Amino acid sequence: MKHHSTLIALSLFLASLLACTPDTRVATVTNPLPMALGDPFMLHAADGKYYMYGTSLANGFEAFVSENLTDWTSIGQVYEGGKEGQWNQDCFWAPEVYERDGRYYMFFSANSRNNPTEEEENFKIGVAVADSPSGPFTDLYNRPIFEIDFPVIDANVLFDDQSGKNYIYFSRCCYKHPVESEIADKARQDSLYNEIEESWIYGAELLPDFSGLASEPVKLLAPPTTLDDVQAEWESRSVTAHEANRRWTEGSYIFRHGDTYYIMYSANAFFGGNYAVGYATSKSPLGPFVKSDTNPILKENQSEGGRVIGTGHNMALTMPDGSMYTVYHGRMTDNPGERVVLIDRMEISPEGVLTVSGPTTDAQKIAY
């Protein structure tokens, strides 16, 4: 018995040494991060570095790189669009970059040149490719991935290990999409707006070469239609605050945890202080999804004495130690006109409830 106890003590001692090896890296990170981006997406690449992409340029996308999550260096422009002969012309939004078989694929939204009916919003989704996470990215196909009868933005891709299939998620824009609901009725009664336009999130199977869709798009998420819906109040704040005659469901990000698919999404006007994040769950990548009663899980903290408003369009990633974080944009109360990037811890309880510890502006330790 004494020999057995000695072995246990030795094992615990060795484990403690391994936990404190020089390979263990911990960063001290304080929000906001030192870049002004909307719709941020962070990639932990094969070279061990972290790359941040987002919305900022009029003619493409820039990126930033860090080895420690604290110090970030601008790479400059990594994708240039809007050139003569390209399918896109302006409004370059929401890039997401994924590494597949040693190459890097950037999915993004932009206004398409092909606009025979001269729509004010003609957003489509494209994909570009590079041999390095720092680019340069060039169009994989000189056209949108797919054509559909309404403008779409905010592409997000799931490479599903369980089914072996790829899925793409996107948001139908509010443009020319008025929807009748009890919320719209109340807005008319209160003399706020005559109609309320909505954006909805769709999903579809994506062809392996990213050249098109392998299934018809399915509507997955939309704003609530009845006033007694537990989601109605927070998802309608842009309307009730008289910010806009629109209710958004956009900026989706999906991942699988155990046997459950979590899809995070943003609601309310991206330019306002009420922009916030909720989530829904399903046992299938294409739903049906059920929104969480705990929504919103990420919102402004100004009402609680903080300095952050307009939190949204987030993504999630798992660090090497297994901890989960969400990266998102927000606005600081002292400069609400600029979108900045924040990162905060998120967790999923044994019961499957997702929570975000944010927004924070105090220093936090992150193992990377």
pLDDT at 361 over 80: yes
Query: Is the pLDDT confidence value at 303 over 60?
Result: yes
Strand partners, 327: 315, 343
Mean pLDDT in the chain? 94
The mean per-residue pLDDT over the stretch 315-334 comes to 97
- C-alpha distances in Å from residue 90, one per residue of 38, 109, 130: 16, 9, 21
According to the model, what pLDDT value does residue 20 have? Answer: 44
Q: Is it the case that residue 24 has pLDDT exceeding 90?
A: no
Question: Average pLDDT for residues 13-32, to the nearest whole number?
Answer: 66
- Residue 303 DSSP code: G
Residue 270 has pLDDT above 60, yes or no: yes
Distances (CA, A) of 154 to 33, 78, 308: 22, 19, 23
Q: Determine what percent of the chain falls in helix, strand and coil, rounding each to the nearest 5.
A: 10, 45, 45
pLDDT, tens only, 102-147: 999 999 999 999 999 999 999 999 999 999 999 999 999 999 999 9
pLDDT at 18 over 70: no
* Dihedral in degrees, nearest 10, Cα atoms 212, 213, 217, 222: -60
Tally of residues, the chain: 368
Helices (H), 203-312: 232-235, 237-240
- Res 23: pLDDT: 65
pLDDT given for residue 200 in this prediction: 98
pLDDT at 265 over 80: yes
- Give the burial class of 246: count Cβ atoms within 10 A of its Cβ; 0-12 exposed, 13-18 middle, 19 or more buried: buried
pTM for this prediction:
0.93
- 9: pLDDT strictly greater than 90: no
Are 109 and 92 in contact, with CB atoms under 8 Å apart? yes
Where residue 202 falls (left for φ over 0; alpha for ψ -120 to 50; beta otherwise) is beta
CA end-to-end distance (rounded Å), the chain: 40
What would the pLDDT profile of 55-91 be if each residue is shown by its tens digit? 999 999 999 999 999 999 999 999 999 999 999 999 9
pLDDT for 21: 46
Residue among 83, 85, 75, 70 nearest 34 (CA):
70
Tokens (6 digits) for 58 = 């009029």
Range 172-178 average pLDDT? 98
Residue 3 confidence (pLDDT) above 70: no
Measured between alpha carbons, how far is 56 from 237 in angstroms, rounded to an integer?
Answer: 26
Res 19: pLDDT: 44
Q: What are phi and psi of 185, to 5 degrees?
A: -60, -45
